[in-house]
């Protein structure tokens, strides 16, 4: 199954780095290590800011959502016993592999339901058209 995803430069940089990190871990027979956002910013050469940390988290979450990586969130305590957020990569995939499920006959939409949904769609469209007409009259 071929799908295209719009990814940001940061998401792409993170994914490419994680692929290399995975390869190095496999080659050296080491496990992935947990890291702070500060560690990760330093590795990738990103600026220090809470916005950058949030962007890293969002990029990781997006890559996990499209099933390219999996990661865990946690924390470590610094010398002052303050909790510092960390994450640990648990898996990095080369491609997206969607699980295929067999749907039975009763799971499939039938002709009668298709016709009902077509009518529903027409009602939605006509409602939208009426709403657009009202807005246009208000603007004029």
C-alpha 80: how far from chain center: 34
**φ and ψ at residue 90, rounded to 5 degrees:** -110, -20
- Which of 55-69, 108-122, 125-139 shows the lowest mean pLDDT across its residues? 125-139
Q: CA triplet 130, 135, 136: central angle to 5 degrees?
A: 95
| pLDDT level of residue 19 (50, 70, 90 thresholds) | very high
Whose CA is closest to 83, among 95, 91, 72, 74? 74
In the prediction, which pLDDT does 83 show?
95
Higher-scoring residue by pLDDT: 12, 101? 12
CB-CB contact of 59 with 71 (8 Å): no
What's the N-to-C CA distance of the chain in angstroms? 48
In the prediction, which pLDDT does 99 show?
66
């Amino acid at each position: 199954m071929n799908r295209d995803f719009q990814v940001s430069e940061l998401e792409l940089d993170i994914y490419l780095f994680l692929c290399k990190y995975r390869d190095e871990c496999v080659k050296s027979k080491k496990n992935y290590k947990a890291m702070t956002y500060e560690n990760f910013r330093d590795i990738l050469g990103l600026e220090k800011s809470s916005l950058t940390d949030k962007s890293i988290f969002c990029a990781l979450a997006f890559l996990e959502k499209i099933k390219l990586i999996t990661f865990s969130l946690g924390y470590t305590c610094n010398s002052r016993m303050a909790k510092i957020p960390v994450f640990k990569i648990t898996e990095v995939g080369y491609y997206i592999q969607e699980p295929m499920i067999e749907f039975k006959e009763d799971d499939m939409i039938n002709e009668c339901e298709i016709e009902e949904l077509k009518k529903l769609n027409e009602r939605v469209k006509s409602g939208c058209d009426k709403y657009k007409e009202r807005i246009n009259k208000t603007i004029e």
